[in-house]
Structure 1
């Protein structure tokens, strides 16, 4: 009898202890109309960045994850070292085409299957991986078709047969029809990633109207996109100043991400620098190592914005505030046209909360003509003349060749922050 009692007591102790152990792996729990993400039993809200640039700055600013768009076994191994060093998780991308014809091509699909098996087999037990992300906006080309989403479903089932720890998602643009297709044809996905820029103000309505009833994450968001803004009469999109971007980053995070109970978190774009219509449009850091341009990858006001919203308190150092920029007393919306060789007076009005002394870097770039699609590579536009550094907020210059251009100014406070603004103009 005593042996039985001891056995039962030991069993009860074991069961109780096991119940106290954190749940292993990543899971989503639903509570009424809300969803929560758990990692090893700990409720976790994702404060993520797009890319692997300056992850030490990201972690110190309050971020806990970063996103990649594709990867090999070797590149993921390298990224996992970055994740461990900065105490972050990875939303690991798996590249898929936007070309609908490929989803009827067994050779293409076999390559993707092989890539998925290789990656998942290598990292199915890796605690720093949050989820596998199948494709990025595959519907943007012509792949919002049944065959594509059925293949996503097949891959999701394949991953789940190999990997019991991680979640599986796909990433779409702000696209209600894609959500409807996923709801019907890819039910094995754990949640959906949505990339949304200016349209993020309507993301709640779009998700709620759709047939999709699960959780989502905003996997890219940031400034208003070049496809969403006013343009000059010759078609040049008008980019927000970095101060305007700072304001919308904070508003969009607080009002449309943090406030949405179906949203598991987000990945702000881009925690780095890229050329996409301009070198500054989506870049949260400035360029570095560009010949003739004395920039060193400085932080923009959008980094300040994320420090503020992630931590819900004022950051210790803030960026310069650009109030306005003009060319010959005209603003960007004035469709500025200048005769070849005519004098150009560029002026910028900037201030600083810490009253730092500014350095101004100016350059004229030709309007981008080699354009990417869906975030694909674009070359940096050609510079006209040389970059110029001034101690004050004015520059006098001229352009002798007809064409479409932009005058850029970078306002540096020499503490590691810089603000940007540019105006398109036409020379005839």
Structure 2
């Protein structure tokens, strides 16, 4: 009886292991004029989010895939977590970048990188959550050594040899005909071209064809206007969109993605999470405290369902009656009024969080980690809901006023407006430091 029990347990474990370890074969094929991704023989269009947080929310809004960028993210069990929720994963292999100090003339370093990726592919290739391998992300950003494409080809060829069940992609920063030609000529084992693009998304299809890429592609990152694409104040600060303006951008750009049904296999909305990149709110679809914004509602609608509760709609922000591009200057220590145009489509009661933050001095390229700038204490003098009175910091320089309009349901509208603090004139400081007030005294007459 004991032996029978052990045999039964062994069979159960083997069966469970087979189910959990089932390889889901992914192919990319051209049928007629149309490129299509197939997963286990069924057409699979990528409705993806770039990031590995808030997975339940991703499922709720209709996502079917997530994207990672490096092997360190796999160590957090993300493949299992995604598979449990029915999500696939574009597994990123972070290929060393010249701008970060990687030297492709260093054969030892290149081989070491190759071997590390080979071990990872051997380890994870049969995981049922894997959709495709992302070999490198924006290696073309600020580079000159073309040997990086040789390295990408070697890695892609290795993947095809070890893992015949999943395609390969590489991702460039925007779209440049030279990079398209290099990928096509030097990395023929790349199956899918990936593009990270924001304001330039409307030209991708035409540029791709003109550059000679006649294969399938994905939009590997897309979303709001990039900080390098927007207008600046006359004191040099890039103006961030309000959460409502961002939502409009997502809606318009998803239409562009859907319109190329012949070559585009889908996309990954960026960023599914929050991070400090230029500001704390520029790219994240969530606030630093984990609240989703109006753009998430837009994506959910485009993927077929209506949100149960909708985020606040924050349209505009003004400081002393001026819009961001009117370049607001305030003298140090002076008071100023900031106001927003905001509403909640579900009439939820909103809570407003205001802050004054120094402009970041740690701005980097390609999404590299940045330090958050300090919040200036004592600058919010009154919070009147959709209006606030601030006192300008005493130190000259660039700042932003941030506001979060929270609906108490896990969603928020966001905005910020830049301003420049001018030094306070000495005479004004002196006048401010000594104040005289008239006082009426009732002094009885002397007798």
- Alignment of 1:306 onto 2:305: no
Offset from partner CA, 1:184-214 (integer Å, 9 cap, x none): 1111111111100000011111111112211
In the alignment of these two chains, the number of paired residues is: 396
Offset from partner CA, 1:253-302 (integer Å, 9 cap, x none): 122345442110111000100011100000110113xxxxxxxx111111
1:188 counterpart residue number: 189
CA contact (8 A) 2:314 2:343 kept: yes
* SS in structure 1 at match of 2:366: coil
Unaligned runs of 5+ in 1: 1-21, 289-296
- Alignment of 1:406 onto 2:400: yes
* SS in structure 1 at match of 2:200: helix
TM-score, scaled to structure 2? 0.85
- Alignment of 1:396 onto 2:383: no
Distance in 1 (CA, whole Å) between partners of 2:261 and 2:240 is 28
CA contact (8 A) 2:245 2:315 kept: no
Distance in 1 (CA, whole Å) between partners of 2:35 and 2:75 is 28
CA contact (8 A) 2:250 2:298 kept: yes
Offset from partner CA, 1:19-60 (integer Å, 9 cap, x none): xxx996110111233211011111111111111110100011
2:8 counterpart residue number: none
2:436 counterpart residue number: none
Q: Which of 41-50 and 350-359 deviates more?
A: 350-359
- Alignment of 1:279 onto 2:247: no
**Judging changes above 3 Å, is the alpha-carbon distance between structure 1 residues 277 and 24 closer, same or farther for their aligned structure 2 residues?**
closer
Distance in 2 (CA, whole Å) between partners of 1:279 and 1:414 is 20
Q: Which of 148-157 and 258-267 deviates more?
A: 258-267
CA contact (8 A) 1:47 1:265 kept: yes
1:103 counterpart residue number: 104
Unaligned runs of 5+ in 2: 1-21, 423-447
1:92 counterpart residue number: 91
Report 1:47-66 matches (<5 A): 47-66=47-66
CA contact (8 A) 2:313 2:342 kept: yes
* SS in structure 2 at match of 1:384: coil
2:374 counterpart residue number: 382
1:219 counterpart residue number: 220
Report 1:3-402 matches (<5 A): 25-72=25-72, 75-76=74-75, 78-99=77-98, 102-143=103-144, 145-176=145-176, 177-257=178-258, 259-288=260-289, 297-311=290-304, 313-385=305-377, 390=383, 392-399=385-392, 400-402=394-396
Deviation (angstroms), 1:391:
5.5
TM-score, scaled to structure 1? 0.89
* SS in structure 1 at match of 2:303: helix
Distance in 2 (CA, whole Å) between partners of 1:398 and 1:135 is 46
**Judging changes above 3 Å, is the alpha-carbon distance between structure 1 residues 136 and 326 closer, same or farther for their aligned structure 2 residues?**
same
CA contact (8 A) 1:258 1:265 kept: no
CA contact (8 A) 2:201 2:256 kept: no
Distance in 2 (CA, whole Å) between partners of 1:267 and 1:170 is 14
CA RMSD of aligned residues (A): 1.8
* SS in structure 2 at match of 1:66: strand
Distance in 2 (CA, whole Å) between partners of 1:82 and 1:151 is 31
* SS in structure 2 at match of 1:283: coil
- Alignment of 1:417 onto 2:392: no
* SS in structure 1 at match of 2:131: strand
CA contact (8 A) 2:316 2:340 kept: yes
CA contact (8 A) 1:359 1:390 kept: no
Distance in 2 (CA, whole Å) between partners of 1:257 and 1:275 is 30
Distance in 1 (CA, whole Å) between partners of 2:258 and 2:173 is 16
2:427 counterpart residue number: none
